[in-house]
Structure 1
């Protein structure tokens, strides 16, 4: 199996990362709105439905993985850097942890975080102790079936081809950052895990996550629920009026796959253009050399 290579890393966001921290983080490391809600149900537990629900209840700029996958693929670099600071399984682990100011680089104008936030649950709870916490739960078997869609984007054949061939030519590190984050979060030993290893590590993460959050969050600041519970428990917990519309139901896996694949196609086109440029340049140079030879130069 291909082992993860070590490299020099950092936990402090670079100037480039801060400048790229839009549209959510206009202030580049300062908080422009209070962080009110951390929805820390694992990815594929209805996190996008919860994101839509929080928006409908009036919360501003609720962050979801779709933002990274569809609007800002470079956000993956930030999350991979956070993995260096937080995930001991990574050979690039630097033990620095993440501060509130660092999280504000990407979440500075967000009143809520869902989905990707669950990967960094403990750090975010410590960074934003004033925020209420929602833990959306789902049975493991159905969760695992759904998670395989996301894991395929990180470890599948297309991901491997894009990471090793396309993205180096296009000058992108999206797939490498995505894969690194998944490796660190799941505690994998390589970037080429078997399905059995993925499922085993996912079950371990699932069980530890659901045991950890109630220990970190006071009972009065924590809501444990399922997406099928509807508006009532959520609105009671957040002290909001129950909307007279159905609770949002959205399956975002297909959308995320579509957008990641679209980003990879865009990178493939960039890589092809760069390769074509050098092919044409070499052909022109070869032709000039041949012509010079025939003319006696």
Structure 2
């Protein structure tokens, strides 16, 4: 098994919906931060090593055919070298709406990690490091987040060959995604999930 579809869009750009869609199209299992959360003893040390410049992509993605969301999105340059024939998907949305969503979920969680339960702290430290590596260090205000979001998206477009990259909003539904992956359009509706309330439920382990 090897990774053939890689998401370069950061969290809160529809990455969970994309994960479900990729699985539904038969291009999974798809790795997502949720997988790290569910398999912290294995995944967190591997990603921490990657953050330190010692990635083992085969171990990180063992059992997966695709990957989206953080931590993956923070390593798109390294992953292009490791998987030069993969297809890449840049999920995006309005920078302003993204900054509001990210600021009230992931960024808030990271900034308050000193208050987290002990069993969550190693995961949160790794996540904070990956998010900072992607261009979102702690302390950015809303304007700073918007600027960094645009910069990340431009960096992806300037790095990934255009023929291998789909720039995509999940609100576009099945059409562009299925065309890009060479899959027939399912009869089921495109999955739409992980609003802000659901985000906090996932982090808390309620779902």
| TM-score w.r.t. length of structure 1 | 0.62
Contact 2:114–2:121 (Cα < 8 Å) also in 1: no
Select the residue among 184, 188, 191 that pairs with 1:248.
Answer: 191
CA apart distance, 1:252: 5.4
1:63 & 1:252 partners in 2: Cα distance?
Answer: 19
Contact 2:13–2:98 (Cα < 8 Å) also in 1: yes
CA apart distance, 1:175: 3.2
Deviation track 1:9-33 (CA, whole Å, cap 9, x = no partner) reads: xxxxxxxxxxxxxxxxxxxxxxxx1
State the match for 1:137 in structure 2. Answer: 92
Number of residue pairs matched?
A: 203
CA apart distance, 1:253: 4.4
Work out whether 1:150 is the aligned partner of 2:106.
Answer: yes
CA apart distance, 1:184: 3.8
Select the residue among 42, 60, 63 that pairs with 1:106.
Answer: 60
Comparing 134-143 with 210-219, greater Cα deviation is found at 210-219
Contact 2:90–2:166 (Cα < 8 Å) also in 1: yes
State the match for 1:173 in structure 2. Answer: 122
Work out whether 1:126 is the aligned partner of 2:81.
Answer: yes
SS of corresponding position for 1:133 = strand
| TM-score w.r.t. length of structure 2 | 0.86
After TM superposition, the structure 1 = structure 2 runs for residues 60-99 of structure 1, keeping only pairs within 5 Å, are: 60-69=28-37, 71-74=38-41, 75-85=43-53, 98=55
Task: Summarize the Cα distance change of 1:106–1:232 in structure 2 as closer, same or farther, 3 Å threshold.
Answer: same
State the match for 2:172 in structure 1. Answer: 229
1:127 & 1:234 partners in 2: Cα distance?
Answer: 23
State the match for 1:90 in structure 2. Answer: none
SS of corresponding position for 2:89 = strand
1:39 & 1:171 partners in 2: Cα distance?
Answer: 25
2:120 & 2:189 partners in 1: Cα distance?
Answer: 44
CA apart distance, 1:262: 4.5
Contact 2:73–2:134 (Cα < 8 Å) also in 1: no
Unaligned runs of 5+ in 2: none
2:120 & 2:181 partners in 1: Cα distance?
Answer: 44
CA RMSD of aligned residues (A): 2.4
State the match for 1:25 in structure 2. Answer: none
State the match for 1:52 in structure 2. Answer: 20
CA apart distance, 1:119: 1.7
Contact 1:135–1:222 (Cα < 8 Å) also in 2: yes
2:131 & 2:7 partners in 1: Cα distance?
Answer: 19
CA apart distance, 1:64: 0.7
State the match for 1:212 in structure 2. Answer: 155
Unaligned runs of 5+ in 1: 1-32, 86-96, 264-297
1:123 & 1:55 partners in 2: Cα distance?
Answer: 24
